[in-house]
Chains A and B, each alone.
Chain A
């Protein structure tokens, strides 16, 4: 037994070994049945439910000391949730951290998939608030479990159809349901539907943790993931019809930022690392400040 650092107050990655074994068994089963929600005995974590306790537990069960951890919240590395989870693991697991997507081996995310394509050595851990895609259509767990068992997903198509009847198009714009390997309908967590095409055939391992709802599910690499749609109303990814005002990116997902009380606004990349590295390469948007000028 090596006593590293000053008196070690926490077990490696915070959780006790028995809890990690239980989570690890659930993760392996979730990989064996892609898209199926495996129940697990979620623990209380030193942060409130809704702040990523599911993702934190999955991350804690997967971390090794050699990992380089990145945490994003809606694409940003510098928001409260992301900063506190990153500090939590830097302290309890002594892992290195980064904001660069390419350098990270494990990325915990709330509601976005990074713009930079993921690679084979990476694990993406999602924080999930409501793992059950049918929950808002059928509140009873006994019923939704039966619906998954029988592959009875008609209700979900009725919901999408009602969208079309009411709005002329499928109005669901985030947490857009997907079907995994032709079997389970899965909630991809509240990522914008812009990110849905990145779910399937990804070289990275994708794990989903829902702490309050006590569920873990997974997408192994190179898994078929299809966003639900109709032949005459095919799935369409969407984003604000603008370029990033800071880095000029045309294909990235954008946040709208209100800049004054007279209708002024700007659109910026939601992925802060993607935007910052483009600006570092000298790419400038409508309101961006060039590197030379910014350095003054």
Chain B
């Protein structure tokens, strides 16, 4: 355990998590919009935004899956100290963290039950960049159409076809976040 394990969490959790959630709320309510967040300094390779999302949403009651390079001792120690979420495989995860290629195939994640569609996974996808350029998004929360550089379109189209089942996605890059709920229709342009 390194000294960094104990630092990098919220210094003033009630206020910082409130502001972070407000950004997540806006992101999920308005798919494709990009918001800045602050307050976490998680160990590499986690981005600030991924750390903020985990500190805001994840705790001992939410099983977490670490995919690919995010699954390393420094990250596990940091999560154990600040969040205390049980680390599990993709099938049991309420939240999953990793790069898109590490999370694939995404059909391993929970999509909810027909009578409880809320019991589905939320994927936190680390991105190299986040811009409003790429596949077109339409649906609830979007007035006409918007665009976001999704890592691919087919998986999100398949996920939309499951509606009201499906996973929900939060994209993180540096200190910025965007979200794509299962309700959004995705079209390659």
A residues lining the B interface (CB < 8 Å): 1-2, 11-13, 17-18, 20-22, 24-34, 36, 38-39, 61-65, 123, 145-146, 148-149, 181, 183-184, 203, 205, 218-224
Contacts and interface: CB of A to CB of B under 8 A. Distances in A.
Contact of B24 (A13, A28, A183): A28
A36 B24 CA distance: 19
B118 A33 contact: yes
Interface of B: 11-15, 17-19, 21-22, 24-26, 28-30, 56-59, 61-62, 114-118, 120, 122, 139-143, 163-164, 168, 181-183
A21 B59 contact: yes
A29 B11 contact: no
Nearest to A121: B26
Contacts of B29: 31, 205, 218, 220-221
Q: Which of B13, B21, B56, B143 has the most CB of A within 10 A?
A: B21
Contacts of A39: 116, 118
A28 B141 contact: no
Contact of B25 (A27, A148, A183, A219): A27
A33 B181 CA distance: 8
Contact of B118 (A20, A22, A38, A223): A38
Contacts of A205: 25-26, 29
Nearest to A17: B13
A219 B29 CA distance: 8
B164 A36 contact: yes
A62 B22 contact: yes
B170 to A, nearest CB: 9
A25 B75 CA distance: 22
Contacts of B30: 220-221
Contact of A29 (B12, B59, B120, B143): B120
A89 to B, nearest CB: 12
A31 B164 CA distance: 12
Contact of A28 (B19, B117, B122, B183): B122
A28 B168 contact: yes
Contact of A62 (B21, B114, B122): B21
Given A24-B21, A33-B117, A205-B29, A17 B14 contact: yes
A149 B115 CA distance: 5
A33 B11 contact: no
Contacts of A13: 14, 18
B123 to A, nearest CB: 12
A23 B30 CA distance: 19
B70 to A, nearest CB: 20
B122 A1 contact: no
A18 B59 contact: yes
Contacts of B61: 18, 22
Given A20-B21, A24-B56, A149-B115, 20 more contacts: A18-B59, A20-B18, A21-B17, A24-B25, A28-B25, A31-B25, A33-B117, A36-B117, A62-B21, A65-B15, A65-B18, A123-B25, A145-B115, A148-B115, A203-B143, A205-B26, A205-B29, A221-B141, A222-B143, A223-B140
